[in-house]
């Protein structure tokens, strides 16, 4: 049995950033990924400032464009522009972005095992045992970062983590789009319970449709095809809406248990995507960092379990997710009205703020306070 301090299952942004932070601080970290590194992930690949600011890794060379304006539409009837200034949305391809983060975790000293799925995670009295087809690994702490599809969760006693799912289909490829501004992304809210997006990425475009309405889900590919034609985006073969890849996005639907003993859920496994846009990368990164902070408290003996992590998460991401839930209800009840309202200054300022606001509290402050509180308890 190999011995680690922290075992992290899943090398998406949540798992990779947690591994990176812990390994950089000297912990013995195992990062398990069931696919090959460099895998693609069906995703728009849009990074808001919440995701790119304070990122531990330089990604400048994998950013394909920076969009400093959003065109919000409702079909052909209404359109509003929201300028973002220096709070731009950065566009990446997920395979490049995720590989960069996982590689950084490796450079920091984490053991990164690709093509090695965790089959079971068992909590023991003193820690965890993670079993793969290759070996059994013993650790003090396990972080579950397995994304939207996560059978491991239930076995650990996390029952009701994913009460609300959106479904999204997406295609990405070389395309031409005469008449569209390559520095502007487009959101069209003329989709029941969701929206369509078009993200410019240099010579590439990423276009997709997302909905949280069960009746709309079977029609997403048809809606995607219509959206692509309406925008005049011409994809080069083989990109084709009929073959667009679909995935579920676990939308945040309120608080639920995210840490049991010495295991915790991070990223999509914890259902942290916001219910308005389905943005999940920023929360994946932040939850990975906060779980790393809580894991350090256990490793240093200041705490016995990861119970600190959900509290840190609530304080940091909670306010943003609550606002986005409220806004999702308002926007999806009256999408045409919402887009029309954005032609006016004050609603536009609110929209700009909500789509680019940072999470509450600087991470370093949060980490410092947590360490201080834990050491007081310990003393």
Q: Identify the H or E element spanning 99.
A: helix 94-107
Q: Mark the segment that binds ligand FAD (CB under 6 A) among 67-75, 187-195, 263-271, 351-359.
A: 263-271
Own/partner contacts of 153-159, CB < 8 Å, gap of 24 or more, are 153/265, 153/269, 155/120, 155/121, 156/121, 156/123, 156/260, 156/263, 157/260, 158/257, 158/258, 158/260, 158/265
- Kindly state the smallest distance separating residue 304's Cβ from ligand FAD, in Å: 26
Q: Are 328 and 276 in contact (CB under 8 A)?
A: yes
Separation CA 133–CA 120 (nearest Å): 10
Place of tokens 């309120």: 254
Residues 144-173 that bind ligand FAD (CB under 6 A): 145-147, 152, 168, 170
Binding residues for ligand FAD restricted to 36-55, rule: CB under 6 A:
39, 41-46
If binding is defined by CB under 6 A, does position 18 make contact with ligand FAD? no
Q: Which is nearer to ligand FAD, 152 or 321 (CB)?
A: 152
Size, binding site for ligand FAD by CB under 6 A? 39
Handedness of CA 35, 37, 39, 41 (dihedral sign): positive
Q: How many residues does the chain have?
A: 379
Distances (CA, A) of 224 to 173, 216, 287: 14, 12, 31
Chain centre distance of CA 81: 25
Among 4, 8, 15, 171, binds ligand FAD (CB under 6 A): 15
Residue 96, C-beta contacts closer than 8 angstroms, at least 6 positions apart? 62
Supply the minimum distance, in Å, between the C-beta of residue 91 and ligand FAD.
8
Which parts of 120-149 interact with ligand FAD (CB under 6 A)?
A: 145-147
DSSP for 208-270 reads: EEEE--TTTGGGHHHHHHHHHHHHT-EEPTT--GGG-EEEEEEB--S----EETTEEE-GGGG
Residue among 34, 138, 174, 322 that touches ligand FAD (CB under 6 A): 34
- By beta-carbon proximity to ligand FAD, the closer residue of 11 and 298 is 11
- Of 33-41, 56-64, 179-187, 304-312: span binding ligand FAD (CB under 6 A): 33-41
- Site for ligand FAD contains 312 (CB under 6 A): no
Binding status of residue 247 toward ligand FAD by CB under 6 A: yes
Listed residue (269, 231, 218) closest to 79, CA to CA: 231
Residue 70 binds ligand FAD, judged by CB under 6 A: no
Among 281, 317, 339, 366, binds ligand FAD (CB under 6 A): 281
Smallest distance from ligand FAD to CB 15, Å: 6
Quick note: the x/- pattern for ligand FAD over 202-221, rule CB under 6 A, is ------x-------------
Closer of 96 and 369 to ligand FAD (Cβ): 96
The window from 12-20, 156-164, 234-242, 305-313 that contacts ligand FAD (CB under 6 A) reads 12-20
Give DSSP secondary structure letters for 64-91: EEEE-EEEEEETTTEEEEEE-TTSPEEE
Q: State yes or no: residue 296 binds ligand FAD (CB under 6 A).
A: no
Residues that bind ligand FAD (CB under 6 A): 9-15, 32-35, 39, 41-46, 117-118, 145-147, 152, 168, 170, 208, 247, 249, 267-269, 273, 278-282, 284
């Amino acid at each position: 049995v190999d011995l680690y301090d922290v075992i992290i299952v899943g090398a998406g942004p949540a798992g990779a950033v947690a591994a990176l932070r812990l390994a950089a601080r000297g912990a013995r970290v195992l990062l398990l990924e069931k696919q090959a590194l460099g895998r693609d992930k069906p995703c728009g690949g849009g990074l808001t400032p919440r995701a790119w600011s304070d990122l531990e890794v330089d990604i400048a060379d994998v950013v394909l464009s920076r969009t400093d304006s959003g065109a919000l539409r409702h079909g052909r009837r209404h359109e509003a522009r929201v300028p973002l200034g220096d709070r731009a949305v950065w566009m990446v391809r997920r395979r490049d972005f995720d590989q960069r983060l996982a590689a950084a975790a490796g450079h920091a000293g984490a053991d990164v095992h690709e093509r090695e799925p965790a089959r079971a995670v068992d909590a023991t009295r003193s820690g965890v045992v993670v079993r793969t087809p290759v070996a059994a690994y013993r650790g003090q702490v396990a972080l579950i970062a397995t994304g939207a599809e996560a059978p491991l969760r239930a076995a650990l006693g996390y029952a009701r983590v994913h009460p609300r799912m959106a479904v999204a289909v997406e295609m990405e490829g070389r395309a031409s789009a005469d008449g569209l501004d390559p520095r502007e992304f487009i959101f069209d809210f003329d989709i029941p319970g969701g929206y369509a997006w078009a993200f410019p990425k240099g010579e590439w475009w990423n276009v997709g449709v997302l909905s949280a309405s069960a009746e709309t889900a079977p029609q997403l590919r048809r809606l995607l095809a219509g959206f692509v034609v309406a925008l005049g985006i011409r994809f080069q073969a083989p990109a084709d809406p009929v073959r667009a890849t679909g995935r579920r996005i676990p939308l945040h639907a309120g608080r639920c248990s995210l840490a049991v003993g010495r295991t915790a859920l991070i990223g999509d496994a914890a259902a942290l995507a916001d219910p308005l846009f389905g943005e999940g990368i920023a929360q994946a990164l932040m939850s990975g960092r906060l779980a790393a902070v809580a894991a350090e408290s256990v490793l240093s003996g200041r705490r016995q379990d990861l119970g600190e992590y959900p509290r840190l998460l609530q304080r940091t991401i909670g306010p943003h997710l609550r606002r986005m839930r409220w806004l999702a209800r308002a926007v999806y009840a009256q999408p045409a009205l919402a887009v029309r309202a954005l032609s006016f200054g004050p609603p536009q300022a609110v929209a700009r703020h909500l789509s680019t606001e940072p999470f509450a509290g600087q991470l370093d402050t949060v980490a410092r306070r947590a360490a201080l509180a834990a050491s007081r308890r310990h003393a």
